[in-house]
Amino acid sequence: MPSFIARRLAAATVLMFVLPPGTACADRAARTPAAAEAAPAQAPPAVLEAAKRAVTGLEVTRSNRLDRKNTAVYKLAGTANGKPYNLMVDASGQVLRVKQAKDKKADKDAESDAPNPASPATHVGAIAHAPIRESSGVVASRRHAGVLWTHNDKGNAPALYAIDRTGRLLAEFPVAASADDWEDVATDDAGNLYVGNIGNNGAKRATLEVHRLREPNPADFKSNSAQPAAPLQVDRTWRLRFPAQPFDCESLVVRGDHAYVVSKKFDNTPAEIYRFPIAVAAAGDVTLEKVATLPTVTTPVTAADWSRDGRRLALLSRAGVHLFDVGGDLARAANVTPTLIPVPRGKLEGLCFTADGLLLTSEGRQIYALPPQ
């Protein structure tokens, strides 16, 4: 190294250590790029309370601290009613900025939806209510004509939404239940809804959950009320264990004394149907029982429904809708060759029977109808 460069480096090093804090040169030397960035930090109670006053129902998911000249400022991220928000609040509790964040994932999902010329599906609507960010499950009400119940996917507040087949919001109700990864919703003839907290990305969960609650009347929802609706109460939760290795799951159907889930496979192996009893009170966890292996379904299953008369089982996968004639017994699906119905392109996540055939919803919030088969 040339001697004059070595002398200049040595002088700079000495300057950084001997100049007292507050000296302009010392401040510039000590100020690194990392110091200007927000560092992860738990926001103090005054900051969190101010943020929640600014955005009703806000759940803060991330907070970073920025040190300014005379105070600390916290950058907060969170959700309220399914919508993402970014806020800046100083240490005294003054809200400096509130901004609803752009939901890039929902936009991307919407862009992925596209017609499929081979599909008989008709586009009938789109979900406009912003808190329904990604419709992950759907079921037709058996108590209220024309009502469909849907919910969000992972990372959103636990809530059920009543919509019609065009996507118009009819009602929304918070639910007092855990929502690790809601993937499907089902119903029965007794006026109950069953919410499947059954998503298991990467097969990391050792147990799944299914919540049961009474189906509310959408007419009870007051959209212009200043007070949010009281959360719907769960009257029973089944905690489900796997009979062997854990698997991912996005489908739930209910009939008679049992509820059924369908494994979501990614390795081109057949999907499997499992069941658990719902009519008899069971102490502790319940182990799933395999009832059928489906050799004709080797693409990931994202939704399912069982017709009210018990005759048909519909599974939604990346290949399309697999329609089985099971004659009231899901175990028969193992030996039945289903009808495969092409579907529109996109991330289709919801499927249910209706009086008019089948209805599909996508994470991009689009709604499609399939005619009776």
What's the DSSP call for residue 158?
Answer: -
Per-residue pLDDT at 112: 61
Per-residue pLDDT at 173: 94
| 8 A C-beta contact, residue 175 and residue 232 | yes
**Which residues have a Cβ under 8 Å from the Cβ of 343 and sit 6 or more positions away?**
116, 119, 121, 316, 320, 321, 360, 368, 370
Per-residue pLDDT at 102: 66
Strand partners, 144: none
State pTM to two decimals.
0.72
Per-residue pLDDT at 33: 39
**Can you tell me the distance from the alpha carbon of 338 to that of 131, in angstroms, rounded to the nearest whole number?**
36
Per-residue pLDDT at 79: 78
Per-residue pLDDT at 108: 54
Instruction: Give CA torsion, residues 186, 188, 193, 194, to 10 deg.
Output: -50
Do the domains 16-100 and 107-370 sit in the same CATH topology, yes or no?
no
Per-residue pLDDT at 4: 44
| 8 A C-beta contact, residue 367 and residue 112 | no
Per-residue pLDDT at 12: 43
**Can you tell me the distance from the alpha carbon of 370 to that of 241, in angstroms, rounded to the nearest whole number?**
35
From first to last of its 373 residues, what are the pLDDT tens digits of the chain? 544 444 444 444 433 333 344 444 444 433 433 334 455 568 898 888 888 887 877 878 788 888 877 788 999 988 776 578 898 888 888 777 888 776 555 555 554 677 788 899 999 999 989 889 889 999 999 999 999 999 998 888 899 999 999 999 999 999 999 888 999 999 999 999 999 999 999 999 999 999 999 999 999 998 766 566 789 999 999 999 999 999 999 999 999 999 999 999 999 999 999 999 998 776 679 999 999 999 999 999 999 999 999 999 999 999 999 999 999 999 999 999 999 999 998 899 999 999 999 999 998 899 999 998 8
Q: 107-370 architecture in CATH?
A: 6 Propeller (2.120)
Instruction: For CA atoms 248, 122, 321, 343, give the dihedral sign.
Output: negative
Picking from 162, 160, 158, 136, the residue whose alpha carbon sits closest to that of residue 148 is 162
In 39-169, which ranges are continuous DSSP H helix?
45-54, 104-112
Q: At CB < 8 A and 24+ separation, what contacts does 347-350 make?
A: 347/109, 347/112, 347/113, 348/302, 348/303, 348/316, 349/134, 349/135, 349/136, 349/137, 349/153, 349/183, 349/250, 349/302, 349/303, 349/316, 350/135, 350/136, 350/137, 350/138, 350/150, 350/184, 350/303, 350/316
The third-level CATH classification (topology) of the domain covering 16-100 is: Nuclear Transport Factor 2; Chain: A, (3.10.450)
Per-residue pLDDT at 104: 57
| 8 A C-beta contact, residue 96 and residue 143 | no
Tokens 């008019």 locate to: 356
Per-residue pLDDT at 81: 62
**Can you tell me the distance from the alpha carbon of 19 to that of 24, in angstroms, rounded to the nearest whole number?**
9
Q: Could you state, in order of their start, the residue ranges of all structural domains in the chain?
A: 16-100, 107-370
